[in-house]
């Protein structure tokens, strides 16, 4: 079995309040075998020296859309599933290089097929390189709701109806169809959004009865549910229905955040996508760079105070935060690790932000093999120059990535040796 010893200049396991200083990690095959100030060094082991670097668990992004590209929006819905699979494969490769060893796709935007499931299979079979993938199928939506509004660009194409459902019976059918086609999570939209033209983030697009039926149908198949939602009432109903994660949740009230905490519901605040535009609502240069549609800025301005108050409530409260970017809504050329900096700017402590992409994300995904560096866990190990607890932006400069014991990135700045 291949043995690798990693000598970390500084080490953080994904849980503790602070990094613990220099450590060595022994990796045997795909798994971490030993961690200590020194570890046993099997004969012939490869030694990887990472001086001046902080070594952490591989990051987990709980909210991406692999089969969506903003730069292609408009013509996007006419691209074939095979083309979207190629885009998704490229995205998985970029994500892994940036240190995201696991990602959850939060809504396959290929409505003609089940492309994210195929990407997952291709990754598991070693056909394509990239992050480990958890898939959610398509985002189930009411007619006139978020996914339907997203599709208003070309309303006559029939296959696009496959994620639309109204009333408990139709909803159960669509939930089971997504599960049949490999959805590990069930995702639905409970409110409108900002990036879409035809809806409003304060709309509530399902009744309590519909949401409860949806979550119950998923639960019977042991599938957790995540929900796209902005406005407070839609968050509240979703939490009562029994979702596991609230995606965005940007306008949830303090009371609703408390209810989430009580019920153990996670929030994935996607602040690069939701809070940053509100913070910079009047910054023309930012909006020019963002290249977002006009209606988005209008909606962000309309709800700016509510978005900023929501971000404050999340930072000052104790709800469990899991890391998510919503990449795909914006370009994969943006390093998703910028989300860490945005969280910290919005008052979330560095350690809470870092846990959100490691141990807390693993808890959300119900995975005991990733998110924490400990013996027996998968060797998903990354390194960045400097200390992210002092300067959170070093998370954007990951230059060593190992996934399941296999080195995926090792930049020339690193000293290498053979033991």
Q: To the nearest whole angstrom, how small is the minimum distance from the Cβ of residue 32 to Zn ion?
A: 32
- Tokens at residue 189, please? 């939209």
Alpha-carbon span 234 to 230, nearest angstrom? 7
For residues 5 and 252, which CB has a smaller minimum distance to Zn ion in the complex? 252
Site of interaction with Zn ion (CB under 5 A): 106, 326
DSSP strand pairing (46-57 vs 381-385)? antiparallel
Q: What is the three-class DSSP state of 330?
A: strand
Nearest in space to 361 (alpha carbons), one of 102, 120, 106 = 102
> Look-up: residue for tokens 């930049």?
411
Cα 327–Cα 258–Cα 222 angle in degrees, nearest 5: 60
For residues 331 and 349, which CB has a smaller minimum distance to Zn ion in the complex? 331
What is the 3-class SS of 341-360, one letter each residue?
HHHHHCCCCHHHHHHHCCHH
For residues 110 and 326, which CB has a smaller minimum distance to Zn ion in the complex? 326
Residue number, nearest CB to Zn ion: 326
Q: To the nearest whole angstrom, how small is the minimum distance from the Cβ of residue 106 to Zn ion?
A: 5
Q: To the nearest whole angstrom, how small is the minimum distance from the Cβ of residue 227 to Zn ion?
A: 11
Q: To the nearest whole angstrom, how small is the minimum distance from the Cβ of residue 245 to Zn ion?
A: 12
Q: To the nearest whole angstrom, how small is the minimum distance from the Cβ of residue 190 to Zn ion?
A: 13
Q: To the nearest whole angstrom, how small is the minimum distance from the Cβ of residue 9 to Zn ion?
A: 36
DSSP strand pairing (23-28 vs 381-385)? unpaired
For residues 61 and 326, which CB has a smaller minimum distance to Zn ion in the complex? 326
For residues 6 and 111, which CB has a smaller minimum distance to Zn ion in the complex? 111
Q: What is the three-class DSSP state of 248?
A: strand
DSSP β-bridge partners for residue 100:
59
Residues belonging to the chain:
419
For residues 214 and 227, which CB has a smaller minimum distance to Zn ion in the complex? 227
- Tokens at residue 247, please? 């995606």
């Amino acid at each position: 079995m291949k043995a690798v010893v990693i000598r970390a200049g500084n080490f953080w396991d994904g849980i503790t309040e602070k990094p613990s200083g220099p450590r060595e990690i022994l990796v045997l095959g795909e798994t971490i075998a030993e961690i200590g100030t020194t570890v046993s060094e099997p004969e012939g082991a490869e030694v990887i020296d990472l001086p001046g670097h902080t070594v952490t668990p591989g990051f987990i992004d709980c909210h991406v859309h692999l089969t969506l590209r903003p730069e292609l929006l408009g013509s996007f819905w006419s691209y074939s599933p095979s083309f979207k699979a190629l885009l998704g494969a490229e995205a998985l490769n970029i994500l892994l290089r940036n240190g995201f060893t696991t990602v959850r796709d939060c809504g396959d935007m290929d409505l003609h097929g089940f492309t994210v499931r195929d990407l997952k299979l291709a990754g598991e079979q070693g056909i394509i390189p990239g992050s480990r993938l958890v898939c959610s199928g398509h985002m189930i939506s009411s007619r006139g709701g978020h996914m339907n509004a997203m599709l208003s660009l070309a309303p006559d194409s029939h296959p696009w109806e496959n994620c639309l459902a109204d009333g408990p019976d139709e909803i159960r059918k669509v939930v089971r169809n997504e599960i049949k086609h490999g959805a590990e999570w069930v995702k639905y939209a409970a409110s409108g959004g900002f990036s879409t033209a035809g809806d409003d983030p304060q709309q509530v697009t399902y009744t309590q009865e519909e949401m409860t039926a949806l979550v119950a149908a998923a639960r019977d198949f042991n599938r957790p549910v995540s929900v796209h939602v902005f406005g407070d009432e839609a968050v509240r109903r979703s939490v009562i229905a029994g979702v596991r994660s609230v995606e965005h949740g940007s306008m949830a009230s303090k009371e609703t955040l408390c209810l989430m905490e009580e019920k153990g519901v996670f929030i994935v605040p996607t602040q690069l996508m939701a809070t940053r535009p509100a913070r910079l609502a009047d910054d023309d240069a930012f909006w020019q760079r963002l290249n977002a549609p006009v209606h988005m800025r209008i909606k962000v301005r309309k709800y700016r105070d509510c978005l900023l108050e929501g971000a404050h409530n999340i930072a000052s409260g104790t709800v469990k935060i899991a890391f998510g970017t919503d990449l795909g809504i914006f370009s994969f050329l943006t390093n998703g690790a910028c989300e860490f900096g945005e969280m910290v700017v919005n008052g979330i402590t560095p350690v809470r932000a870092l846990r959100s992409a490691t141990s807390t994300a693993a808890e959300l995904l119900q995975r005991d093999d990733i998110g924490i560096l400990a013996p027996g866990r998968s060797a998903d190990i990354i390194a960045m120059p400097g200390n992210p607890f002092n300067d959170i932006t070093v998370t954007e400069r990951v230059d060593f990535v190992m996934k399941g014991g296999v080195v995926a990135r090792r930049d020339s700045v690193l000293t290498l040796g053979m033991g």
